[in-house]
Structure 1
Amino acid sequence: MYSISYILHIVGIALWIGSFAAFGFLLRSIVKKGERLDDHSFILEKIRRWVNLGILPGLFIVLITGVFMILQFDRDSMPFYLSFMEQAGTMIILLTIVFVSIYSRKMGKKLNGAALKKDKPLESLALMYTNFMFLSAALSVMVIVVVGLRII
């Protein structure tokens, strides 16, 4: 069971970092190009859907498998890198789920033409969305570096 959890955990992390980096660069290049994002609403909606239906549930699986695997260790003699992975990884995943979900919903409303409380242009929402994706991916890479180096 531990092996299956480990494989799901690694696959989920790879999808998380890879998708967020790829989608972030794609969205940022569309915004920086200077074109109206309304012309690319199909692409924005597909990215938003994949993040909501693929990546965020995948993050929940990463969280569950990580908790399952960390419970297999003795809590008293756990090295720093494992407790860092547990605490920082959990916090990053939870904050990612919250903030990316919020901005994904705002982008969806804006794409559907609904009014927002604070009316912002679609370009600024997309940039904020990419910033959260890049931040999440960068923080997760930081956790991977600490765990990979086995910092005690």
Structure 2
Amino acid sequence: MTRWRAVAGGFALAACSEALVFAATGRVTLVGGLAGSALAGYLAGDEPAEGAWHGLLTAMAWGIVLIPGLVVLSVVTDAPLPFPIEFLLPLLDTAGEATTAILLSASLPNVAGGALGSLARRRDDRSDRSNGQPQPRPTDGEPDDA
């Protein structure tokens, strides 16, 4: 089941961090989306598959906002492509290769980030139990059993 609060939290982190990076450097990266996906995975729970799913959803939601914004920036300010795509595209020969590289670079790292966020949650839950706390934190949308 999708935990939309986790996706919204990841989206908010991606938007805020990208805004800060853009304000400081004038460049757009894909790092904010990666951080947002990791947060979404952490908030979703301790199963890596759920974290990966929520990381992917966060990346796609952020991409819906980021891509039109990049188009506007490139038309209005002649801004470069986001990091790391600006370094990958010169190595590619065809439109199919470019499309594949863009889609994979915008999705697979976020899936891995979401899974790593879930693994971090699992580690935190285990350390909480070993410190004598009775139960792990409830995940989004689940009632507290205490």
TM-score (norm 1): 0.32
Q: TM-score under structure 2 normalisation? A: 0.33
Higher helix share: 1
Q: Which has the higher contact order (CA 8 A, sep 6+)?
A: 1
